[in-house]
Chain A
Amino acid sequence: AQTVTQSQPEMSVQEAETVTLSCTYDTSESDYYLFWYKQPPSRQMILVIRQEAYKQQNATENRFSVNFQKAAKSFSLKISDSQLGDAAMYFCAYRNPIIQGAQKLVFGQGTRLTINP
């Protein structure tokens, strides 16, 4: 079974600085999807960024980018120019491709990100 591990329960960063959140995963599959979700106190899980494992190029979305190391099974999230609105729980998640049938997301334990003004 696939597992996702986030080893940083909490992180903090100064506003406008850069922070990196870590995620490792375990799978025997060669093709899969990885995601970062943000969960503010409102509880809604908001998709931040996703990466297809067959793509070597790291995904970027504005101030958010990933460092995908397939061999190391590592998928870290970098937030540049941190803003107060970035404060939230961040979850790393894994999903098999549709051809594998199972569409469920497997989540890590989460990292609470605090932005200091």
Chain B
Amino acid sequence: GAGVSQTPSNKVTEKGKYVELRCDPISGHTALYWYRQSLGQGPEFLIYFQGTGAADDSGLPNDRFFAVRPEGSVSTLKIQRTERGDSAVYLCASSLQGGPQHFGDGTRLSIL
């Protein structure tokens, strides 16, 4: 399809493990965003890429969280030493510069 694609749809892992979440944006969208949505809450901003560089990473909660976008298209959100509090839906969005953000279906991450 032509929309934002996120994989996996669901991820269950044990506390302390490393996880990678992938986002494939809409073709041609230069801007890419990651948000985290805890149960019953609105999404909270994590990081924003313009092209390959992180233009704003002020929402990353700590140094266990890291994201890359090496070729300016697909992005990977990486979480080290996962904790139960990391359980949430991780949403990715993309846009043209200054345009409205289009979201994927998210990855539901569950840390046991």
**Which range contains the number of B residues in contact with the other chain?**
20 to 34
Interface flag for A25 (CB, 8 Å): no
**Which candidate, B21-29, B67-75, B93-101, is the interface stretch facing chain A?**
B93-101
The residues of B that contact A108 with a CB separation of less than 8 Å are 42
Question: Do residues B104 and A44 form an inter-chain contact, with CB atoms below 8 A?
Answer: yes
B residues near A45, Cβ cutoff 8 Å: 43, 91, 93, 103
When chains A and B are docked, how far (Å) is the Cα of A45 from the Cα of B43? Answer: 10
Interchain CB contact (< 8 A) of B89 among A35, A43, A105? A43
Q: CB distance B42 to A110 under 8 Å? A: yes
Bound CA–CA A24/B53 (angstroms): 33
Residues of A within 8 A of B56 (CB): 101-104
In the complex, the answer to whether B98 meets A98 with C-beta atoms within 8 Å is yes
Inter-chain contact A104/B48, CB cutoff 8 Å = yes
Interface residue ranges, A against B (CB under 8 Å): 4, 35, 37, 42-47, 50, 91, 93, 97-98, 101-110
Q: Which residues of B contact A (CB under 8 A)?
A: 31, 33, 35, 40-45, 48, 50, 55-56, 59, 89, 91, 93, 95, 97-98, 100-106, 108
A to B CB contacts below 8 Å, 26 in the list? A37-B103, A42-B105, A43-B105, A43-B106, A44-B106, A45-B91, A46-B103, A47-B102, A91-B43, A98-B98, A101-B56, A102-B48, A102-B56, A103-B95, A104-B33, A104-B56, A104-B59, A105-B33, A105-B35, A105-B43, A105-B45, A105-B93, A107-B42, A107-B43, A109-B41, A109-B42
16 further A-B contacts with Cβ under 8 Å, apart from A45-B103, A91-B42, A107-B44, are: A42-B105, A43-B89, A43-B105, A44-B103, A44-B104, A45-B43, A47-B102, A50-B100, A93-B42, A98-B98, A102-B48, A102-B56, A103-B33, A104-B59, A105-B35, A110-B41
